Amino acid sequence: MHLKQQFQGAVQVTADETPAFLGTEATDSVPETCHIAKDAKERGSEPSQPSLRRYSVHLLEHGGAELLRTCFCPWATLRDVLYADAVCKRWHRLSREEQWMEMSILNGGVTASLRRALWRHLSAVQNIEQRYQRELGVASATEAFEALLKKPLSQAKISEIERDVHRTYPSHERFEGQEGAKGRAELQQVLQATVTAEPNVGYCQGMNFVAATLLIHLGSASDAFWMLLALLESYHYRFVFAPGVPLLPLRVFQFAGIVQRCLPRLWRHLREDGHSLEIFAHQCVLTLFSYSLEPGLLAFVYDAFFLQGWKAVFRIGASLLAFLEDQLLQMDLEDISHHLHQCKKHLRLPRRNGQLGAAAFRVLLRFDVGLGSLEELESGFQLQRLEVLLSQVSVSGEHDAQAVDGKHSIPFPREWLIPGWARSTAGSSPAGAVGKDTALDYHNQEGVGRAINEAGMREKIFVETKIPGCGMDSTMLNVFKCYENTKRDLELDLAKLNLSYVDLVIVHFPPISSMVTRSCNSWSGGCQMVRAQWKAMEEFYKQGKARAIGVSNYCPSCYDCLNSTATVLPMVNQVQLHLGMGTDPAGIVSWHKKRGIQLQAYSVLGNTAVSHKASPEILTGNLTTSIAKAHGKSSVQVALKWVVSQGIPAVTKSASAEHLSADLDLWSWDFTDEEKQALDAMSSPKGSYSFGCTSDDAKILV
Ligand SMILES: NC(=O)c1ccc[n+]([C@@H]2O[C@H](COP(=O)([O-])OP(=O)(O)OC[C@H]3O[C@@H](n4cnc5c(N)ncnc54)[C@H](OP(=O)(O)O)[C@@H]3O)[C@@H](O)[C@H]2O)c1
């Protein structure tokens, strides 16, 4: 039907109810009528809400969405849309309301006074409030909030929240100093009520920033609390904050995928170190940009999020990076992570009279992201996981076969020597005692175990093994089962080795969340995973199945997770350490020394995960070769000796019997003071002691 006919039909049916401001002109052509309506509005003759609603509903019923959009869009305000809720509901289904609201947001149309109504409308929070009111038997949402606050909560939980409340926007007027006491108390209430309402999600760092942002823009603690619940329920934030952060890896994957599509050059640049993009994505997703943007701008970001859900996160994230692209492309990798971490400081968004407005919003919604792309990325993510699983199955068989087929010239394929280990730890065995460093995820236990047993050398060999960090290996994918799976893997590892005990077992790396947050923390579920794994490790140790237990690639924050729960602390931390990194990289050597935890070095020859080859700077560099020549040794021996002479046992590997025996000859000679000083001062090859986290990880959210 022609638009004009549709419109006339609507008016005929509703002649009595046609809003007065449309007058008799309503039966004229649609554009003309809309024009008259707009004029009337500009003159201030606004329709009353009931008549607006009636008029809109009739337009929808008799004229259809097209007509409504033609007439309604040009002159209605956001307020009209919000109040004409019947229209909104139906229009929403036609996905036009969304477009219109986006226009309104982009034009700075959401005023502070309207924001609460907009967020409530979009999140349908009143349904959640009503449900709680029924369950708690109270008459209002505020009473329900107060009733939740009266429920008991453990002192440990209260203190955990309290600690973070003091670190949330510490310089924002709402939370700063004496005047901020009320704001902090309200934030504490919002978080406590949330934990009580959602005990399975609990409290998680990151939530404090989101709650504080809501509090700043909504005003009351009760409103902020209900909106936080709406985020958990209606926008799936529950699965972002729950222990093990189950939704986070997918969202981070999608984030990176969108950046790859929108900003291919920057994506390649950021991917060179593999992690900075993921860390940034992690921060944006977990705190809903609260860590990356200033609170004023966040109001708009949250408008867009409540309207579009996750799509807004990817749009804003990619647009933010586009805005910073020129700066980032000029930086080296270290500066990039710092820059992104402090991104708030570097964003110079357009302002008018000192205020962020429509122009800034347009910058932040520069890219569009289709649902189709997100679904495609989701499938890609699932496929990638399946491929990991598949590859583990086939690789496992191949390694086992290699381990026993005698292909290698040494008895233990993929075996690892531990020069200096016994000297540094037990002190009683002769220097250069040999150990085997194996791991469940190296798939070589059966060969190693068989060889040790056949040679009858068990007591002479220090057997070290590893089980994967939670969430990373095929056997540990279920982050909710870190304890059970660690227990199972420990037993499996021992059974595969066919030994009654191992000398040392270590957790190979921190849990999956730390690979992106660069930290073990409870807001990403990392601490919960660390604790669960360590509980299983302690039990294994107490049963006498391991003489010592330890970790690998752990950073200070990972130990922090264990402070209140561990009964036995980690005895060893295996980390990357080699010439070029200095004697105390990132302070980790002194940190561990102070706490009596033995460091053990891997990649001592500067082997990188990419090349799998010893570093040429160490093998053929001027300094190492000249020192080697002076002592009649090899540069590899110089590199190994430099590590073990600091009291740090070194783990290396070789497929050559000749290399293996040379690698053990580290005690018959010594460096001169000058040589030692020159080696200490080497600044290349660069290394990073852990691929799982960083030493300044504790500061990540402070
Ligand atoms: N915990 C962790 O996350 C982690 C990570 C990486 C490695 N690691 C452990 O560290 C150990 C090995 O470390 P890595 O893989 O990084 O290797 P690396 O010890 O830095 O270097 C090994 C390379 O050095 C060469 N090499 C050894 N002795 C040599 C000699 N005398 N002359 C010339 N070349 C020599 C070997 O080649 P040839 O075979 O030709 O001799 C081998 O390719 C393993 O036990 C592994 O488990 C642990």
State the residue for tokens 């849990």: 511
Tell whether 228 and 273 lie within a shared domain. Answer: no
Tell whether 264 and 302 lie within a shared domain. Answer: yes
* 551 has pLDDT over 80: yes
- Closest C-alpha residue for ligand 1 atom 36: 654
Tell whether 494 and 567 lie within a shared domain. Answer: yes
State whether residue 572 is helix, strand or coil: strand
- Closest C-alpha residue for ligand 1 atom 42: 654
Q: Which of 377, 408, 425 is the last residue of a domain?
A: 377
* 30 has pLDDT over 50: no
Tell whether 476 and 369 lie within a shared domain. Answer: no
Q: Which residues face 601 on adjacent strands?
A: 575, 650
- Closest C-alpha residue for ligand 1 atom 10: 602
Q: Which of 322, 354, 377 is the last residue of a domain?
A: 377
CA distance 30 to 28: 6
Q: Residue 440: inside a domain, yes or no?
A: no
Tell whether 259 and 217 lie within a shared domain. Answer: no
Determine the structural domain holding residue 147 and report its residue range.
125-241
Here the tokens at position 369 are 């992201």
Residue 648, sorted as left (phi over 0), alpha (psi -120 to 50) or beta, turns out to be beta
Tell whether 152 and 264 lie within a shared domain. Answer: no
**How far is residue 468 CA from its own chain's centroid?**
19
- Closest C-alpha residue for ligand 1 atom 47: 437
pLDDT value of position 404: 28
Closest by Cα among 563, 561, 537 to 548: 537
pLDDT value of position 6: 29
Q: Per-residue pLDDT averaged across 531-545, rounded?
A: 96
State the residue for tokens 């934990």: 195
From the alpha carbon of 509, which atom of ligand 1 is closest?
Answer: 3
- Closest C-alpha residue for ligand 1 atom 31: 659
* 296 has pLDDT over 90: no
- Closest C-alpha residue for ligand 1 atom 9: 602
pLDDT value of position 585: 92
CA distance 72 to 494: 72
pLDDT value of position 622: 95
Output 30 or 452, whichever has higher pLDDT.
452
Here the tokens at position 419 are 């020069």
**Confidence label for 378 from pLDDT (cuts 50, 70 and 90):** confident
Whichever domain contains 350, its CATH number is 1.10.472.80
- Ligand 1 centroid–CA 419 distance in Å is 12
State whether residue 490 is helix, strand or coil: helix
- Ligand 1 centroid–CA 461 distance in Å is 19
Q: Per-residue pLDDT averaged across 266-278, rounded?
A: 76
Give the least confident one: 150-159, 471-480, 610-619, 623-632: 471-480
Q: Residue 640: inside a domain, yes or no?
A: yes
pLDDT digits (tens, 9 = 90+) for 135-188: 999 999 999 999 999 999 999 899 989 988 998 988 899 999 899 999 999 999
- Ligand 1 centroid–CA 435 distance in Å is 14
Q: Residue 290: inside a domain, yes or no?
A: yes
Q: What percent of the chain has pLDDT over 70?
A: 73
- Closest C-alpha residue for ligand 1 atom 29: 659
What is the tally of structural domains in the chain?
4
* 621 has pLDDT over 90: yes
Residue of 506, 554, 602 with the most ligand 1 atoms within 8 Å of its CB, for mutation? 602
State whether residue 690 is helix, strand or coil: coil
Whichever domain contains 686, its CATH number is 3.20.20.100
pLDDT value of position 591: 92
Tell whether 157 and 227 lie within a shared domain. Answer: yes
Q: Residue 523: inside a domain, yes or no?
A: yes
**What is the number of residues in the chain?**
702
Q: Residue 398: inside a domain, yes or no?
A: no
Q: Which of 198, 217, 241 is the last residue of a domain?
A: 241
* 397 has pLDDT over 80: no
Tell whether 514 and 556 lie within a shared domain. Answer: yes
Tell whether 225 and 257 lie within a shared domain. Answer: no
- Ligand 1 centroid–CA 417 distance in Å is 9
Tell whether 608 and 536 lie within a shared domain. Answer: yes
- Ligand 1 centroid–CA 465 distance in Å is 16
Q: Residue 64: inside a domain, yes or no?
A: yes
- Closest C-alpha residue for ligand 1 atom 4: 602
Output 449 or 479, whichever has higher pLDDT.
449
Tell whether 68 and 167 lie within a shared domain. Answer: no
From the alpha carbon of 613, which atom of ligand 1 is closest?
Answer: 43
- Closest C-alpha residue for ligand 1 atom 30: 659
> Pocket around ligand 1: residues whose beta carbon is below 6 Å from it?
416, 437, 508-509, 552-553, 574, 602-605, 607, 613-614, 634, 636, 651-656, 659, 662-663
- Ligand 1 centroid–CA 655 distance in Å is 9
Q: Residue 383: inside a domain, yes or no?
A: no
H or E element: which one contains 552?
Answer: strand 546-552
Tell whether 229 and 256 lie within a shared domain. Answer: no
H or E element: which one contains 377?
Answer: helix 371-404
Q: Residue 541: inside a domain, yes or no?
A: yes
